[in-house]
Amino acid sequence: MKILGIGNAIVDVLCKVDDDFLVKNSLTKSTMKLIDEDEFKTLLSLINIEETVSGGSVANSIVGLSQLGNDVGFVGKVSDDKLGQKYEEGLKKEKVNYFYKKKKETIPTGSCLILITPDSERTMCTYLGTAGKINDTDIDESIVKNSEITFLEGYLWDEGEPKKAFDKAIANSNKVAMSLSDLFCVERHKVHFLELAKNKLDIIFANEQEITSLINANSFEEIVNFSKQIKKNVIITRGEKGALSILNDELIEFEAQKNLNIKDLTGAGDLFAAGYLHGIINNLSIKECLIKGTELSAKIIQKIGARI
């Protein structure tokens, strides 16, 4: 298998709201907030659902890779409930190998409210449910070893059981890629993420805001210098400024596509990672990897949801 993704198995619930809704509910635009089941139900009662889909950051990337014809798999914890069944069916429909045998859990399958404001920004309220209870026994080391790349998400990293799953996956991987996921994740786990970036990861995906926070940078030049020093493949997305890849001492940039009919920024980073990793496993040049990532990212933001 080419790539095994390990992440939070979350059913995305997409809704359109105005900016006042975020203010009234003390939500910070364009970030992710962890909520409990009661808060999830309360918010859900106030909005109209546009669409539901099997989601999660790395799962979105893995589906994108599958749609490009790659042999990929995913590990994510769900309960044997209605949402869990829907989740598994959604992945199998996309020809993704799903390596998790669900069973009835005391906690339900995780859900994420994706609140889309008129400017196309998305604000996420995530009830992790059983997804946040993944542990090392859920990781089959033989599957990890048989994958060229293991792709992890910052959203998954947490002290306790999830960290044990993370560590087991890294210990058995041939090559490790990770997305920093969200500014919230970086600020919550900065010391650990920095250690991972320096010592454990081979490929690192981040947007400019996330990596700026990770190293407390005062300038973009500091970010470039840091990326060159750690000798990893660091890929940074910069919105309208495009994206760049830093590998050893080489910096390669590619501009963003212009004049797009942007509807929803959900999944932009996930699909960018899918396109870039597609290039890596198919032996494309770094410039071609950036082009493919930009192409998929541009496609996804012109539709609602994180699936092409």
pLDDT above 70 as % of the chain = 100
Q: In this model, does residue 307 exceed pLDDT 80?
A: no
What pLDDT is recorded for position 59? Answer: 95
Amino acid letter, residue 265: L
Confidence of residue 53 (pLDDT cuts 50, 70, 90): confident
Residue-wise pLDDT for 66-97, tens only, equals 999 999 999 999 999 988 998 999 899 999 99
Residue-wise pLDDT for 182-226, tens only, equals 898 999 999 999 999 999 999 999 999 999 999 999 999 999 999
Report helix, strand or coil for 71: coil
Q: Report whether 249 contacts 226 (CB < 8 A).
A: no
Q: What whole-number distance in Å separates Cα of residue 8 and Cα of residue 14?
A: 17
Closest CA relative to residue 75, chosen from 173, 29, 144, 171: 144
Q: In this model, does residue 145 exceed pLDDT 80?
A: yes
Q: Report whether 142 contacts 174 (CB < 8 A).
A: no
Listed in sequence order, the residues at least 6 apart from 38 whose beta carbon sits closer than 8 Å to its beta carbon are none
Within 13 A of 150's CA, how many CA atoms are on the CB side? 26
Residue-wise pLDDT for 2-27, tens only, equals 999 999 999 988 899 999 999 999 99
The alpha helices in 172-236, defined as continuous H runs, are 183-188, 190-199, 208-214, 220-230
* Alpha carbon distances (Å) from 40 to 25, 83, 116, 128, 285: 12, 15, 16, 10, 43
